[in-house]
Chains A and B, each alone.
Chain A
Amino acid sequence: MTDIRADAFDSMRERERVRVEEEERRLAAERRKIARDGPKLKGEKLAARLDLAWRRPPGIIGWLATVDHKEIGRRYILTALGFLALGGVLALLMRLQLSKPDNAMIGAERYNQLFTMHGSTMMFLFAVPVMEGVAVYIIPLMLGTRSTAFPRLNAFSYFMYLFGGLMLWGAFVLNVAPDVGWFAYTPLAGPEFTPGKRADVWAQMITFTEVSALAAAVVLVCTILKARAPGMTLSRMPLFAWAMLVQAVMIIFAMPAVALCSSMLISDRTIGTNFYNAAEHGDALLWQHLFWFFGHPEVYIIFIPATGFVSMITETFCRRPVFAHAVVVLALMSTGILAFGLWVHHMFATGLPRVGYSFYTAASISVSVPTGLQIFCWLATMWDGRPRFQVPMLYVVGFIVTFVIGGLTGVMVAAVPLDLQLHDTYFVVAHFHYVLIGGAVFPLLGVLTYWYPKITGRMMSETLGKIGFWMVFLGFQLAFFPMHWSGLLGMPRRVYTYPAGLGLEVPNMLSTVGAFVVAAAVGLFVINGIWSLYRGVIATPNPWGAASLEWATSSPPPVYNFAHIPVVESETPLWDVDGELPVVTGLRVDEKEMLLTTVVAATPDTREPVPQATLWPFISACAIGIVFIASIFSPWAIAVGVIPSFIALTAWFWPKELKRTAEPVIT
């Protein structure tokens, strides 16, 4: 009996094997007919066919379905700049309120909402997403490839970010904005002290942005490790790609901490757990540990991409490779690692064991070493190079000056005795705006000017750019330097007013004036951006004479980025080619395909199909977004919402045609 069954099974397997072999032969014959780029298929004929294969469907459906990294990157950048403007308006409102003592323009409660919205918007909706957005746009071009890894995940990540931002600002408009500070300390943010939905809105905004940032981080890590042009070994990889690799890995390790602690907060608030409830043996300090285990690396997650911008700009505008490439890479990595060892310096005022004080002081001071090394490398590059002080380079110089001041006050507050005096004063506000605006926003404005011609095909106005730079730079110093002074005088942050007669009038008035100068400069930047879009000088493929591969394609790049995949033979490829760009060929032209290379040596590894445009990432983001928002009101939303989310995600992955093709396509 068993034998007969076994025989039947064997003969079934045999028939199946024969059928599959036949199919393989048929597919192999079809495979030989596939059109590929090469010496016989190049130029305009190739461009037309690639364009047809890579172009997304037109209209609103196509807009929502796109998986083109350039479109998604542009949206990321524009959305983040929109949130920058909104967060900036809140800052101006706060500065107006603080411009004179005992001001009654904004009440205490509204003021609490303003600074919470300002911090949350700037950290979660502007700083991290704008860095991801620039990387999503530029990294594939810089690496010489046609797409990011997992382009649908990339699209999903953008929509999650957008929905998270809209939820937070929708809540603000509906007067349910969070009011517990951007780090939402328990027990204040717990159910006992903040009933209502304000803190829940904050916690779910975190959930949206963390899902989005983690997805984008995985996309970037996989792109950087696997999609580099042949020959772009890790040691030849541009410093911006290195910076983004370190940053994305940091997101992968840091974001789960805030995911965990904000989930625990919302469960304390909605289903009655006791993680932070001291009455039931929970601990409010658990919040601070988990939050800062994320929150401190977060600062470097914002800063490290900016160092990548600085390296790229410095290289181009000094016309020599960045001095000591390997040292800069090692500095990036050690900054990334050290960043996880010093979160407790945010908690000096909570009381720690003696040895904890010493350890975290030492760790905090030590992180200035790799950062200092990078600064010396940039200075050496300028000293040895032939710097051209155009707008992007001016921002680099402004960055170095401002960031060094912020770094020095950072070393100061790393010392416990001083920190205990200055904790929660305007001195700290001055410090972190110096490192965040000086360290990240200045390089960002520089790099937006630098990559603007690549993205739009036109140059930004140099004159407006220079005026804008000096306004930002000087306005910034005017706004934030006096805060050191008001902080030393003991002015606490997050208090909506201050009494007259304590010597706080002058520094606060100066800060307010400076804030408006910065706002005017940002406005000028926007005007320049819009004006140049229509009237700017038409950009050549490589208008700055730069060395990296994003400048090897037209400005703006075609939808498929490169007609042939470039080959890299040095650290500065475009400076070292002799009129001709070495390329590899053999990728498909009638379907979307990219080249994968090995992780370290970047030798060609496989040809990878690139997913076609689809609405499912958008639909998935909608389904999951509704679950996140509904779960503020009922925990059952999660149980119910698993079903539509599962359906949407399955449809995302399920092949639309269930038959074999000569070579894989992702439909």
Chain B
Amino acid sequence: MILEPRFTDDLSDLPTFKFGPSSLTWWGVLGFMVIEGAGFGLAFAAYFFLMGHEQGWPPEGRLPPDLLAGTLFLVIILLSEIPNTVIKRAAKAGDVPTIRLLLPLMVAVGVVLLIIRGFEFNSLNCRWTDDAYASIIWALLLLHASHILTDWLDTVVLCALMYTPVAYEPRRWGDVDENSMYWRYVWMLWIPIYLMIYWVPRL
């Protein structure tokens, strides 16, 4: 038979949301960050594996990618951490007006970055079909572009949601907080990729 219950604590007063590791979605986001990190790590390994076979990097007769677009991308994405931090703090404080003010800015930053990314593909000085070097730097840039695109789409949806009455639900502040955490991950990953695409071929 099913055991009779012996009542201990009553948890009615337990909160329905807390930030950070108390939040289930925080763990979910972390899980997907690790998955993507493992994917990027292995792509980096593939890059160095292919590089190890070559006499020169880029292979002889090929120019390394032009610096302008990628560097501009780097500067903007680093600067975007300023509004990102303000948003993250506002989320923790439940400051909805500030979130509503700054999330559209992050959406705009995403648009600018995606446009610059288009120019970056144009400045690689190779096509993906040329050789293994070209394939792997296109792959790295494309992987990061899809990272930017998915985070941008996510930010657009979140931004729209924060303009509805549910913006005052603490769980939504958690979404904003975790979106900011993810954006940090996106720009941090860009630093090694930037170095691998633009500077390792110049060493």
* A interface residue numbers (CB < 8 A to B): 13, 16, 20, 23, 36, 38-39, 42, 149-150, 153, 214, 217-218, 221-222, 225-226, 230, 252-253, 255-257, 259-260, 264, 267, 271-275, 277, 280-283, 286, 289-290, 293, 540-541, 552-554, 563-564, 567, 574, 577, 579-587, 595-596, 598-599, 604-609, 642, 646, 650, 653-655, 658-660, 663-664
Contact = CB atoms under 8 A, between A and B. Distances in A.
A579 to B, nearest CB: 7
B8 A554 contact: no
A252 B34 contact: yes
Interface of B: 1-18, 21-24, 27-28, 31-32, 34-36, 38-39, 42-43, 45-46, 49-50, 53-54, 59, 96-97, 128-136, 138-139, 149, 153, 157, 161, 164-166, 168-169, 171
A23 B157 CA distance: 25
A622 to B, nearest CB: 19
A658 B131 contact: no
A567 B11 CA distance: 12
A435 B171 CA distance: 46
A567 B31 contact: no
Contacts of A607: 11, 14-16
B10 A583 contact: no
A150 B2 CA distance: 28
A225 B59 CA distance: 48
B15 A606 contact: yes
Given A38-B10, A222-B28, A646-B153, A214 B35 contact: yes
A658 B54 CA distance: 57
Given A283-B53, A580-B4, 11 more contacts: A149-B27, A222-B31, A230-B9, A273-B138, A274-B130, A275-B135, A281-B131, A286-B50, A293-B42, A606-B15, A664-B169
If over half of B's interface residues share one DSSP class (helix, strand or loop), that class is named, otherwise mixed; here it is helix
Nearest to A278: B132
A319 B14 CA distance: 37
A579 B16 CA distance: 32
B135 A584 contact: no
9 contacts: A39-B7, A275-B46, A286-B46, A581-B5, A583-B6, A606-B17, A606-B18, A650-B157, A660-B165
Contact of B5 (A580, A650, A655): A580
Contact of B3 (A256, A580, A596, A664): A580
Interface centre among B1, B36, B97, B132 (most CB of A within 10 A): B132
Contacts of A595: 11, 14
Given A13-B97, A252-B38, A256-B42, A654 B24 contact: no
Given A274-B132, A283-B53, A225 B35 contact: no
B168 A20 contact: yes
Contacts of B168: 20, 23, 660
Contact of B24 (A226, A289, A564): A226
B3 A579 contact: yes
Nearest to A150: B28
Contacts of A290: 42, 46
Contacts of B149: 642
Given A252-B31, A664-B17, A272 B129 contact: yes
Contacts of A23: 168
A253 B5 contact: no
B110 to A, nearest CB: 14
A443 to B, nearest CB: 27
Contacts of A606: 14-18, 22-23
A209 to B, nearest CB: 15
B2 A552 contact: yes
A658 B164 CA distance: 7
Nearest to A583: B5
Contacts of B14: 586, 595, 604-607
B28 A149 contact: yes
Given A221-B27, A650-B157, A658-B164, A280 B131 contact: yes
